[in-house]
A and B are shown apart, each in its own frame.
Chain A
């Protein structure tokens, strides 16, 4: 009798597990008229016609790891918004932004509970727009782009589910991009710190002089191609994607092969540490040890060096980033998206616009604890950015970046981690001499196309 219960219980248990498994898989699109990303949403949030209605009610607003350092600023912005629009309440959530942050965000989106207003990066913006989780601002708030620098606004476009490029996010702050270098090592290698390279291949030509002079004691750059692609290619004006975004084209441009050859030559000449080919070494650390000529390109890195390696900071020079054939810099700003599944889209969009307006952005940029640059024309015109005082590396970087913000665009090519790994792997093989530059690029491109086709 007792024995006979066991299979029965097991069967129940298995059935339960299977049902649960089935639940885990369920999803699919609902059959209601208004859906976004498989969620039922307010009809007003999708389709054509601007959002109308009063700004009131509760919304949630999510940032990533900002509460600790900037709690005062955000609470101030929220209080000002609630004062301007009586009857609104903004609940601020600050995600710690750890390794599983994106998974949590995706789970929220899948569960139709994406925060109403959410701070996202470029990769997340692409994925959420493609799957319909963000409000199409072109339709729902057609004048939303007015305050922003035109070059930046025009390039903050992502493809929606139908492949149409739409404005689904508001550009927020960006970090900027500069060249940083160790002036002492440059001089040792016979290079003039006042004349940093202006093209990507020019950088490699200079780096080869470093390789000749260093005798292996210091290096020009780290070898891992992941640190340089696709930014270098894009700056060189190489077309990375086809116009429809459905295939890669970088291997068809002879300049990409020239770039791989330059990397290979520099690697073999000892201009890059041999063991950095596939390693996770951080150039900021190696630069901080005074063993790397060219440092990271993020101005915020200067703060890291200033705090951790003051002697190296004193030797650090800053120059305009190589504009090369592209003629301007590209960068991925932080974005503010508004959720298509919001129950209170009018208020969500209003808060997103309030947060990113010129006044609020300028106020934050003036915080001495940050090196960030606003995305709105009016705040960039402020004397704070127009007449920077001082000549330490920090001030230099601020001057340079402020002067290029009006032309900088947001169309930085964002490869998926899978694509980046696949391309880097092939280039590593070329750098080791196991493949020609052309073959490596051809293989990289076909792997990339395969990944696009498979969706991973």
Chain B
């Protein structure tokens, strides 16, 4: 929230009194003032304005809808997941037992879990840097107010609006053996046989990354477009006068100027790329690629824990906790690295 000074944010008139003079402690009639003092915690001149007349619980009241929502849909499921990860809970039957660390020991010895972890980490390592850089280039490209630029901005943004399933289906058609990409490459005599985009497990993983990138570019481009507006034009002009070309200006003026946004995009895409499911499902099918080799952690959680009839909720929860730890760990690591970089 932006900090307003009293001058900028006029406060509503207190009960029965005229508007307070900016910066002064308003003085309501004596009896009311005493009553208010009884319920408001020690006001000082700094607290200023309307704070004097607020009940202590008023801010909590305003926050209640948000707190309730977060509690019901965020905090409770989160704590519940942690608890469930120490049990052998199943979707049906009601009874469950505490099994201590059993789910976690099983997880550590589970080759499928490690494969899923590898895929998820790989996904983050490849997607995050590209997702931080490519949308910035795109934003620089469409930043200038040229005639018709709105069309390109909208076009780049369209994939964001399309549903993941629709986009996934389109990519299936593009990448299949007789799809557009293979047909073009064959017609252009660049390849002899079709490239197995959808049957080779590495290519499925890379194609899924491509899909994530393509779908996210427009979204983060908007972030950068906003950030680019804040890069002082004078810096560009000064650099240009000093003889810096477009590339140099990009690296030495634009990039430092949008650094904060880059950190934000990095964090967001880091979290996002650890949550990938739909892309893998659409391109690799229900097994998660041939042999299940392309499964990511969310995919694996769905496999082991989310079947409504037979899922192993306890084990699924344990893998979910591992995913949470991984996400948190990578985010903290990234922050630390950026800070050291700055220092």
- With the chains together, A59 CA to B305 CA distance in Å? 33
Write the B40-60 contact mask toward A (1 if CB under 8 angstroms, else 0): 011000000000000010001
Residues 65-101 of chain B: 1 if any A CB is under 8 Å from the residue's CB, otherwise 0?
0010001000110011001100111111111100000
Chain A to chain B: the 4 pairs with minimum beta-carbon distance, closest first: A38-B94, A456-B312, A27-B94, A278-B285
A100: chain B residues at CB < 8 Å are 308
Contacting residues, chain B, for A29 (C-beta < 8 A): 94-95
A426-447: CB near B (< 8 Å → 1, else 0) gives 1011011010000000000000
| Whole-angstrom CA separation of A280 from B169 in the bound complex | 10
Pick out which of these stretches binds chain A: B129-137, B184-192, B267-275, B289-297: B289-297
Whether A418 and B87, one on each chain, are in contact in the complex, defined by CB atoms closer than 8 angstroms, is no
CA distance A241 to B103 in the complex (A): 26
Chain A interface, DSSP helix/strand/loop, else mixed: helix
Nearest CB in chain A to that of B281: its residue: A280
Chain B residue nearest to A435 in the complex (CB): B291
A 31-55 contacts with B by CB, 8 A: 37-39
**Chain A nearest CB, measured from B48 CB (Å):** 15
Binds A, one of B153-161, B193-201, B222-230: B193-201
Closest to A100 in B: B308
Is there a chain B Cβ closer than 8 Å to A123's Cβ? yes
CB<8 Å pairs between A and B, sample of 20: A1-B41, A13-B71, A17-B71, A25-B80, A29-B95, A37-B94, A38-B93, A38-B94, A105-B308, A274-B177, A275-B177, A278-B199, A279-B285, A416-B309, A416-B310, A418-B311, A421-B292, A428-B290, A454-B106, A456-B312
| Besides A1-B42, A25-B87, A418-B310, 17 new A-B residue pairs in contact (Cβ under 8 A), listed by A number | A16-B71, A25-B83, A27-B96, A28-B96, A39-B94, A106-B92, A110-B92, A273-B176, A280-B172, A416-B307, A418-B304, A421-B287, A428-B287, A454-B315, A455-B88, A455-B312, A456-B311
| A127–B92 touching, CB < 8 Å | yes
Residues on B with C-beta less than 8 A from A224 are: 285
Distance, CA A39 to CA B288, complexed state (A): 38
- Tell me how far the C-beta of A160 lies from the nearest C-beta in chain B, rounded to whole angstroms: 12
Q: Say yes or no: is A234 at the interface (Cβ < 8 Å to chain B).
A: no
A2 on the interface (CB 8 Å rule)?
Answer: yes
User: B218 at interface (Cβ–Cβ under 8 A)?
Assistant: no
Whether A424 is near chain B, meaning CB under 8 Å from some CB there, is: yes
Nearest CB of B to A414, in Å? 10
User: How far, in Å, is B264 (CB) from chain A's closest CB?
Assistant: 27
B interface, CB within 8 angstroms of A: 41-42, 56, 60, 67, 71, 75-76, 79-80, 83-84, 87-96, 106, 172, 176-177, 194, 196-199, 204, 281-282, 284-292, 303-305, 307-312, 315-316
Q: Does A152 contact B (CB under 8 A)?
A: no
Bound Cα distance A254, B22 (Å) = 91
Q: For B198, what are the chain A residues with a Cβ–Cβ distance below 8 Å? A: 275, 278-279
Q: Could you mark each residue 269-292 of chain A with 1 if its beta carbon is under 8 Å from any beta carbon of chain B, else 0? A: 000011101111000000000000
A432 and chain B: residue at smallest CB distance: B290
Residue of A nearest to B204 (CB): A278
Residues of B within 8 A of A21 (CB): 76, 79-80, 83
- A residues less than 8 Å from B76 (CB atoms): 17, 20-21, 24
Determine the chain B residues whose CB is within 8 A of the CB of A355 once the complex forms.
none
- Nearest residue, chain B, Cβ from A415: B310
Q: Is A109 located at the chain interface by the 8 A CB criterion?
A: yes
Say which residue of A9, A274, A275, A432 sits within 8 Å of B291 (CB atoms).
Answer: A432
> How far apart are the CA atoms of A39 and B92 in the complex, in Å?
12
Q: Which residues of B contact A105 (CB under 8 A)?
A: 308
> A227: shortest Cβ distance to chain B, in Å?
11
**Main SS of chain B's interface residues?**
loop
Q: Kindly state the separation between the CA atoms of A426 and B83 in the bound complex, as whole angstroms.
A: 33
Instruction: Collect the chain B residues with CB atoms within 8 Å of residue A126's CB.
Output: 309
Q: Select from chain B the residue with minimum beta-carbon distance to A9.
A: B60
Question: Is B290 a contact partner of A275 (Cβ separation < 8 A)?
Answer: no
CB-CB < 8 A to A131: which residues of B?
A: 92-93
Within 8 A of B (CB), among A94-112: 100, 102-103, 105-106, 109-110
What is the CB-to-nearest-CB distance from A99 to chain B, in angstroms, rounded to a whole number? 10
Residue of B194, B288, B310, B312 with most partner-chain A CB within 10 A: B310
CA–CA, A127 and B92, complex, Å: 8
Do B310 and A24 touch (CB < 8 A)? Answer: no
Chain B minimum-CB-distance residue to A267: B199
* Cβ–Cβ < 8 Å partners of B194 in chain A: 274
- Whether A226 is near chain B, meaning CB under 8 Å from some CB there, is yes
Query: How far, in whole Å, are A21 and B196 apart by their CA atoms in the complex?
Result: 47
Instruction: Assess whether B196 is in contact with A454, with CB atoms less than 8 Å apart.
Output: no
Nearest B residue (CB) for A127: B309
Instruction: Flag if B291 contacts A429 (CB, 8 Å).
Output: yes
Residues in A with CB closer than 8 Å to B310 are 127, 416-418, 455-456
Contacts of A9 in B (CB 8 A): 60
A434–B198 CA distance with the chains assembled, in angstroms: 17
Measured between alpha carbons, how far is A2 from B88 in the docked complex, in Å? 43
Q: How far is the CA of A429 from the CA of B199 in the complex (A)?
A: 11
Asked whether B176 lies within 8 Å of A37 as measured between CB atoms, the reply is no
The residues of A that contact B204 with a CB separation of less than 8 Å are 278
Contacts of A424 in B (CB 8 A): 286-287
With a cutoff of 8 Å between Cβ atoms, the chain A residues found around residue B96 in the complex are 25, 27-28
Residue A124 at the chain B interface, CB threshold 8 Å: yes
Contact status of A418 and B303, CB under 8 A, knowing A109-B92, A124-B309, A226-B286: yes
Give the complex CA separation of A273 and B90 in angstroms.
38
Q: Of the candidates B84, B92, B315, which one forms a contact with A37 in the assembled complex, judged by CB atoms under 8 Å apart?
A: B92
Given A421-B303, A425-B290, A275–B176 Cβ distance below 8 Å?
yes
Closest to A422 in B: B292
Contact between B199 and A110, CB atoms less than 8 A apart:
no
Asked if residues A425 and B315 are in contact (CB atoms below 8 Å), the reply is no
CB distance from A241 to the nearest CB of B (A): 15
What's the least CB distance linking A292 to chain B, in Å? 13
CB of B304 within 8 A of CB of A456, answer yes
Out of A18, A275, A421, A454, which one reaches B79, CB within 8 Å? A18
Closest to A426 in B: B291
Enumerate chain A residues within 8 angstroms of B312, measured Cβ to Cβ.
454-456
* Min distance, Cβ B298 to any Cβ of chain A, angstroms: 15
Residue pair A274, B199 in contact (C-beta under 8 Å) = yes
Q: CA–CA, A9 to B59, complex, Å?
A: 13
Please give, as numbers and ranges, the residues of chain B lying within 8 Å of A195 by CB-CB distance. Answer: none
Q: Report the nearest B residue to A5, measured CB to CB.
A: B56
